[in-house]
Amino acid sequence: MANKILSQRPLNIDVAALLLRLIFGGLFVYHGYQKVIHYNEYLNYFTDIIGIGKKLSYNLLIFAELVCGFFVTIGFLTRITVIPIFIAMSVAVLIAHAKDTFQIKELPFLFLLLSIVVFVLGSGKYSVDNLLFKNRHAKSNF
């Protein structure tokens, strides 16, 4: 046991991917759900920072957080569904909070970085992706 703890090798990459997806995606589902249940209230504070309209921007943010967050959580099309999250967090860090202190943009910056990790790591063994696509991957490996 001490060898595993002191080893530089991962204990279990698939469990790590699952935990990361559950935490990362779950937080986005929470934030997206809050935006839905407080829709009109939060929309009043939202601005059209990228020039596509305040309501459309807000709805796209809800899609990224709630829908894509849920898909990341369950591991469904993980690498594809993390892209809207990456874009939303890039806009938050680079545009919406560009002039704010780091303390204000720290959470979106962390989410931005974690979205890259989720993209690189993928969904792992314990995911819907694995259930749907495991035969496809097994056939392509010679």
Q: What is the pLDDT of residue 1?
A: 61
Residue 41 lies in a domain: yes
Residue 40: domain span = 15-140
Q: Convert 121-139 to b/e letters by CB count within 10 Å (16 or more is b).
A: bbbbbbbebbeeeeeeeee
Give the separation between CA 18 and CA 59, rounded to whole angstroms: 28
Residue 92 lies in a domain: yes
Residue 22 CA to its chain's centroid (Å): 10
Domains in the chain: how many in total?
Answer: 1
Q: What is the pLDDT of residue 136?
A: 66
Residue 7 lies in a domain: no
Kindly compute the dihedral angle of the four CA atoms of residues 23, 129, 84, 115, in this order, to the nearest 10 degrees: 40
Residue 20 token pair: 């990361």
Give the separation between CA 110 and CA 12, rounded to whole angstroms: 23
User: Mean pLDDT of residues grouped by 10 in the chain (142 residues)?
Assistant: 73 93 97 97 91 95 98 97 98 95 96 97 95 69 43
Residue 132 token pair: 């749907």
- The model carries a pTM of 0.87
Q: What is the pLDDT of residue 137?
A: 53
Residue 9 lies in a domain: no
